[in-house]
Amino acid sequence: MDYSKIIFVTKDDTSRGPLAAAILRQKMPIEPIEIESRGLIVLFPEPINQKVEAIAAAKDLDVKGYASQQLSESDFGKDVLVLVFEESLKPTVYEEYAEAQNVYTFKEFINESGNIADPYGGELQEYGKLYDSLNELMRKLVYKLRVPKLS
C-alpha cells in the first residue's frame, strides 16, 4: 500500500466523510493505515448528522462522539491520500492549501466519474441509500489499494 493515511474531505465533515471513514475502517480493520475525514468549512466542531448516526448504528459502524474537523496544512503528505466527494472541491483544496498533494475526487481515484451526492435535509431512507452507495464504492477502493501496481 502506498498510503499511510486516507482523508475523506467534504464541505462540513458532518455526514458523508465521517460515514465513509467508518465504512472503510470496518472493511480494513487490520491495515496499518489511518482513516479520517475533514471539512473545508468547519467554524467549530459539530456532531455527526443524526440520520448518519442512525444509519451507522444500524450497520454497526463506530461514529460515537465524532465531531467535525477542519482540513489543515498538516493533514497533507506524500503518503496521504485525500479524497474529495465533489469535483468542485478538488481545485478548492489545491487553491487554499499550499501543501496539498495526492488530492482526487473519490470516483476519479477508482476510475469512475461524478460526485457523491449529499442527502442533507433528506429522509432517513436517502441516508440509507448513501450508505449503500458508499459501501459499494469502498469495496472498489479497497480493491484498488490492495492490488499491486504493475511496473
What value does the mean pLDDT of the chain take? Answer: 95
Rounded distance, CA 32 to CA 99, Å? 23
Which residues, in sequence order, are CB contacts of 135 under 8 Å at separation 6+?
Answer: 23
Check whether domain 5-146 has CATH 3.40.140.10, yes or no: no
Which residues, in sequence order, are CB contacts of 57 under 8 Å at separation 6+?
Answer: none
Strand order in the sheet with 5-10: 34-39, 5-10, 80-84, 103-105
- The answer to whether the beta carbons of residues 140 and 110 sit under 8 Å apart is yes
116 pLDDT more than 80: yes
pLDDT reported for residue 70: 98
Rounded distance, CA 90 to CA 96, Å? 10
- The string of pLDDT tens digits covering residues 34-79 is 999 999 999 999 999 999 999 999 999 999 999 999 999 999 999 9
Question: Per-residue pLDDT averaged across 127-148, rounded?
Answer: 93
* Cell numbers describing residue 97: 492549501
146 pLDDT more than 90: no
pLDDT reported for residue 151: 47
Residue 97 carries which side chain, given as an amino acid letter?
Y
149 pLDDT more than 70: no
